[in-house]
Chain A
């Protein structure tokens, strides 16, 4: 009856799959299942432990599922817990067998011991089998009303789990409403915290499709609720405090008094031993005060000491996380930290990821008074046995030199590096001396004297070699043997593997030739010949170019190759300020550690559980788009980042713009109300260009009243017709949006009907679709909506791109139009407006 034993053995003994062990376990469990002997629980425990240890190391023990369930009829809570753990792990792959567990789990959910009720409920909701959710609703409902807080805590998370298994079941059972009730009324703060995080996830998920969820989500940021949480913050566990603080960051206080109240209330959170709480508090402070420059400054001063304490207490990992944030702050406001530079000195036993951050911070905080000491310290690191850090240190010295403080002393140090005769030190120093000379040509005399002594044989790294060759070319008049060094380098052309070095060599020989023709002629000939024969395209081309240039006219060639240069005043920053601001917005997240904004390393849906304040993060996909949805999803984040208006995108949640907004709004409102009646009435024509409307727009844009009566008399431009079936993929859109300049940017009003119709934002794309204007992406939340449209001129490839930001409460729209054919943009704008004006009326 039993199959032969061999079939159960693992095919190869060298790869233990544990199959035979599992079969053993299976039969032993079966024996114990029905047994009621004393001591049987102990033997069961041993077997269960074995099963779980196999599970941990990755052996598949799902085949004993039935036996485990049979054995689970026990009053021993340790056994029960092991069984729950097992079931939770394998239910998903054994949905049929999972059904077996429902019975005993449901029974346990009614147990009189709240521990068992809670545990059973947790296991039941962790089964993660879609067709078993019906069994979950009843116990969850009971659990949420349980008088024991442990059960309620478990039940709230259970609702969230249900939401992830089956959205409809969760919503239909009206669980969000129950959670909301608990959120506001439960006495246990952990229940409240769990409700908060569950509702954030649920409403975040629902917000794209349901207006109600969007409103609920916003209500979490209402003043009463935020205050309700803030006043109780000390009752929450430290982890829940982080959750609350994350929410508070998104709250926009009405005035500065409110800001100070909140800050005073949270002040003592900065003394918490948990770094996560301190950073979350720091984020609240930093974001609340964005618009108050001097207070913002004080916040830096205030959070400095707690952060430094966190860096020096705790494990290296924890201090790294805090140090990354400190690094960000130092980079933003180095002067605040200028007296604290000694905190950023490296300790010899620190991991290199910490040292690297500290070196950058040292570089940033160096000022007139500290430069000397910092550079001295950095020079110690340069002699360090840790070569990557030694290199970084030399680079840091160079950066400080380029910051213009006490260049005199630093140049000396750099030149000493060159004499240290460690190849990597020499290499780094050469590159730095080159940059230094580009900025401070006046130092050439001192530098060249030292550089001239370096034997090119000792320099092997391409970057350093290129730097040396550049200096040989640039300062060949000051280095007596420059032509001969270049000549010998040219002779070894074939051994030079780096194309960069060969390119530099060509140029250097040319420069040298103009300065000292008789000595260099030979080298030049050899270099050009070698360059022409070079297999590398760029080298070949440059050699050919120089050759022909020389053939054409030597003086012209000199003007091209060796024109008088201006000193470089500022070297380009590697990171744009937009990216930096974005990282700052995402303070207390991984973005800071990675030094990248989140869109560069996370999928959209994982960007944060509650990212709605960030307009870009919550963008939904334009449903009317012709493009497959997933393509849009993959691209829209980049697409939207191409938008030039950083300020706008930071909008809704942070108060940066909130304080300036009211003024701006009212002025706009007044203009738009004046114009408003004109537009719909004076624009009866469909797609044609209406002179009146263009006049109105000119007026609106402040372009001056038409001095000439042109509009009516001017030959009307050909009517603009759009291609109804236009298609554009988001990648192209994004690219075009970045490349094209803004043709037109204006504010318009939306008719009251239109604003009303915008309660369902998707109505607008649908409406414009009828006018051959297609939506490619949309997002935001009421009252601020944002859409991206495109349209294509009929029978032509010319594309129009439109960014349209609508504020439903003030009924105003800000549109930005970019077009391939800029001459048509005005016509298109008129067309767009007329289409927009009829929105909500039809």
Chain B
């Protein structure tokens, strides 16, 4: 139960304000904004999504720079309210096509219309774009999609390609195309965010993929859809990176959208659903299985005299040359006393920029694109104002990296085919299946300047750079630590077959020239992997002694009664 809902711009202006219960004072938006803007509590710089001021609980989520806020005095479920706020943002985006301050301001009446139906007296009624359609009468005023900020990772598909239906992802679910006809199409995006931490010796400390299969349907008449995933997909709980090398895609865990039916999932890994209008995640999954990271980062820091040091950063793209990563940024914090940095890019470097952000002592190296299989190196000469104490590697780093790789996915999870069940043979809507991988947290701890990494020198300098090392007598990283030994072991391990990129199934090309054809249903795989899904259960309903005797029959239908007495082998107790 919430009391108020409002949307604030970055400057704190009310764009939309709705009071549902009148329990919270009118000035709440200002109180909220001041609190968030000048947050200083427990030494934290950033306000948490939920906080309490004078008995009022403020919830907020940030979407494209806007603050979606709910207030309440009740002790509600924080997850529910935050989920709701996120969902409201998504519904608004479905209707407006583009969500930003401009489109919100232009369409605030439509937004009020939506809000009235989404929440009544503080209680959520519905957040289904589909259901809301019949209650909403305002036509969205379309804003220029060209200069919008991306809201979802799928927005990258709109970058700079004319052949992509750029308007599609920014198209309102209610607006018609010019000509009054709606284009029948459906988008399936496999979006993966990867987190990798490399140790200072290049060993992978942690790696995780958080993926979403996101769908956006513009199909009329709500046909049923069948989505087939890898047949060898298995879902198991396994401990952190326990299984490796089997070649199968093993997800740690996943969850599904309400509309997804898993009737055949155990059998042939297909998901059946009637996609509601608007954008929604069909499935979220999480994977800690070993995978080949798309980039290797190598760092070398070397002291060159009392007030000087040299940093060498090398990024190697370990994915096929048919794939290109874009908007790559490599960052590295530098020692506190760094005053000047001279950069030296590789000869003939294109689309690369470097910067030394003096305010937070950070080196920034931006690359427009990196083609698979290539390597790029940056040298930076640092000048300090004071002599450094101790180990320079403790003062600089870690190196972090952000990037986006379209048409690449690290997990090898695939949509094998997408079937649309509709009787007519002429009905052949556009089907777009797109893959994208983004860096969530891609970090490499610095290399220490000592013996342990000499072993890695060859991998480090393929272009035969000659360096002189000042080796410190001891190194934290190697002391009493067998990490180094483990590295070598790891290197000797057989590498997983590289099959992520070659597949006999036709994969969509990027950019698309034509929609992906539906691939005919494959034979059922033998020996399906069992998913740990419980059978559907039903509780026997006893008669209602105190409740409406005359309606007993309504409570216990014959089918339920039958089910009630049937099978009793349940998952619980385990």
CB-contact partner of A56 in B14, B197, B533, B542, under 8 A: B14
Determine if B55 and A313 form an interchain contact, defined as CB atoms under 8 angstroms apart.
no
* CB proximity of B44 to chain A, nearest CB, Å: 5
Determine if B258 and A273 form an interchain contact, defined as CB atoms under 8 angstroms apart.
yes
Determine if B80 and A239 form an interchain contact, defined as CB atoms under 8 angstroms apart.
yes
Would you call A250 an interface residue if the criterion is a C-beta within 8 Å of the partner chain's C-beta atoms?
no
Most buried by B among A157, A280, A347: A347
Contacts of B74 in A (CB 8 A): 602, 606-609
Most buried by A among B16, B124, B400, B480: B124
CA distance A588 to B77 in the complex (A): 5
CB-contact partner of B441 in A347, A416, A590, under 8 A: A347
Would you call A724 an interface residue if the criterion is a C-beta within 8 Å of the partner chain's C-beta atoms?
no
Determine if A261 and B570 form an interchain contact, defined as CB atoms under 8 angstroms apart.
yes
CB-contact partner of B212 in A274, A279, A313, under 8 A: A313
* CB proximity of A271 to chain B, nearest CB, Å: 5
CB-contact partner of B255 in A56, A271, A586, under 8 A: A271
Would you call B571 an interface residue if the criterion is a C-beta within 8 Å of the partner chain's C-beta atoms?
yes
* CB proximity of B343 to chain A, nearest CB, Å: 21
Also in contact, A590 and B75, with CB within 8 A (given A230-B539, A231-B560, A313-B281) = yes
Segment from A511-519, A521-529, A592-600, A819-827 that makes contact with B:
A592-600
Would you call B202 an interface residue if the criterion is a C-beta within 8 Å of the partner chain's C-beta atoms?
no
Contacts of B330 in A (CB 8 A): none
**Chain A 290-333 interface residues, beta-carbon cutoff 8 Å to B:** 295, 298, 305-306, 308-310, 312-318, 320-322, 324-325
CA distance A64 to B361 in the complex (A): 57
Segment from B106-114, B178-186, B221-229 that makes contact with A:
B106-114
Contacts of A607 in B (CB 8 A): 74-75
* CB proximity of B547 to chain A, nearest CB, Å: 6
* CB proximity of B414 to chain A, nearest CB, Å: 19
Segment from A75-83, A481-489, A688-696, A763-771 that makes contact with B:
A75-83
Would you call A603 an interface residue if the criterion is a C-beta within 8 Å of the partner chain's C-beta atoms?
yes
Segment from B46-54, B376-384, B417-425 that makes contact with A:
B46-54
Determine if B137 and A264 form an interchain contact, defined as CB atoms under 8 angstroms apart.
no
CA distance A305 to B251 in the complex (A): 11
Determine if A273 and B49 form an interchain contact, defined as CB atoms under 8 angstroms apart.
no
Contacts of B252 in A (CB 8 A): 305, 308-309
Also in contact, A52 and B112, with CB within 8 A (given A339-B239, A353-B44) = yes
CA distance A592 to B76 in the complex (A): 11
Also in contact, A267 and B572, with CB within 8 A (given A222-B547, A227-B540, A315-B61) = yes
Determine if A598 and B46 form an interchain contact, defined as CB atoms under 8 angstroms apart.
no
Segment from B346-354, B405-413, B548-556 that makes contact with A:
B548-556
Contacts of A275 in B (CB 8 A): 79, 82-83
Would you call A837 an interface residue if the criterion is a C-beta within 8 Å of the partner chain's C-beta atoms?
no
* CB proximity of B464 to chain A, nearest CB, Å: 32
Would you call B208 an interface residue if the criterion is a C-beta within 8 Å of the partner chain's C-beta atoms?
yes
Most buried by A among B237, B255, B545, B570: B255
Determine if A603 and B73 form an interchain contact, defined as CB atoms under 8 angstroms apart.
yes
| A203-237 contact mask (Cβ, 8 Å, vs B): 1 or 0 | 00000000000000001001111011011000001
CB-contact partner of B78 in A308, A353, A590, under 8 A: A590
Would you call B127 an interface residue if the criterion is a C-beta within 8 Å of the partner chain's C-beta atoms?
yes
CA distance A608 to B1 in the complex (A): 9
CA distance A256 to B574 in the complex (A): 13
* CB proximity of B422 to chain A, nearest CB, Å: 26
CB-contact partner of A228 in B394, B441, B555, under 8 A: B555
CA distance A785 to B114 in the complex (A): 46
Would you call B116 an interface residue if the criterion is a C-beta within 8 Å of the partner chain's C-beta atoms?
yes
Would you call B485 an interface residue if the criterion is a C-beta within 8 Å of the partner chain's C-beta atoms?
no
Would you call B60 an interface residue if the criterion is a C-beta within 8 Å of the partner chain's C-beta atoms?
yes
Report the interface size for chain B: residues with CB under 8 A from the other chain: 119
* CB proximity of B471 to chain A, nearest CB, Å: 19
Determine if A606 and B73 form an interchain contact, defined as CB atoms under 8 angstroms apart.
yes
CA distance A699 to B124 in the complex (A): 59
Task: For B540, give the chain A residue with the smallest CB separation.
Answer: A227
Contacts of B358 in A (CB 8 A): none
Contacts of A590 in B (CB 8 A): 50, 52, 57, 75-76, 78
Would you call B494 an interface residue if the criterion is a C-beta within 8 Å of the partner chain's C-beta atoms?
no
Determine if B533 and A312 form an interchain contact, defined as CB atoms under 8 angstroms apart.
no
Segment from A96-104, A380-388, A746-754, A802-810 that makes contact with B:
A380-388
**Chain B 18-46 interface residues, beta-carbon cutoff 8 Å to A:** 19, 22-23, 42-46
Determine if B49 and A356 form an interchain contact, defined as CB atoms under 8 angstroms apart.
no
Report the interface size for chain A: residues with CB under 8 A from the other chain: 123
Also in contact, A320 and B49, with CB within 8 A (given A309-B255, A309-B286, A590-B78) = yes
Task: For B211, give the chain A residue with the smallest CB separation.
Answer: A313
Contacts of A609 in B (CB 8 A): 1, 74
Also in contact, A593 and B539, with CB within 8 A (given A313-B212, A347-B195) = no
Task: For B63, give the chain A residue with the smallest CB separation.
Answer: A315
Determine if A380 and B52 form an interchain contact, defined as CB atoms under 8 angstroms apart.
no
Would you call B484 an interface residue if the criterion is a C-beta within 8 Å of the partner chain's C-beta atoms?
no
Contacts of A377 in B (CB 8 A): 205
Determine if B50 and A306 form an interchain contact, defined as CB atoms under 8 angstroms apart.
no
Determine if B537 and A267 form an interchain contact, defined as CB atoms under 8 angstroms apart.
yes
Task: For A354, give the chain B residue with the smallest CB separation.
Answer: B48
CB-contact partner of B121 in A157, A274, A295, under 8 A: A157
CB-contact partner of B43 in A219, A230, A343, A388, under 8 A: A388
CB-contact partner of A339 in B83, B240, B551, under 8 A: B240
| B484-516 contact mask (Cβ, 8 Å, vs A): 1 or 0 | 000000000000000000000000000000000
Also in contact, A52 and B533, with CB within 8 A (given A309-B255, A348-B400) = no
Contacts of A190 in B (CB 8 A): 125-126
Also in contact, A420 and B83, with CB within 8 A (given A279-B77, A591-B75) = no
Other 12 A-B pairs with CB < 8 A, given A264-B572, A279-B79, A312-B286: A48-B109, A53-B108, A122-B116, A219-B547, A224-B544, A239-B127, A275-B82, A280-B77, A310-B255, A348-B398, A349-B440, A606-B55
Q: Please list the residues of chain A having a beta carbon within 8 angstroms of any beta carbon in chain B.
A: 48-49, 52-53, 56-58, 77-78, 81-82, 85, 89, 92, 115, 122, 128, 150, 153-154, 157, 160-161, 181, 184-185, 190, 194, 197, 219, 222-225, 227-228, 230-231, 237-239, 242, 246, 256, 259-265, 267-268, 271-276, 278-280, 295, 298, 305-306, 308-310, 312-318, 320-322, 324-325, 339-340, 342-343, 345, 347-353, 356, 376-377, 380, 383, 385, 387-388, 391, 409, 416, 419-421, 586, 588-594, 598, 601-603, 606-609
What would 14 A/B residue contacts be, using CB atoms closer than 8 Å? A160-B121, A197-B123, A224-B545, A227-B542, A238-B258, A261-B537, A263-B572, A268-B536, A272-B255, A318-B82, A420-B394, A589-B76, A589-B78, A606-B23
Q: For the complex of A and B, list the 6 residue pairs with the smallest distance between their C-beta atoms, beginning with the closest.
A: A347-B441, A276-B80, A313-B284, A317-B49, A388-B43, A305-B253
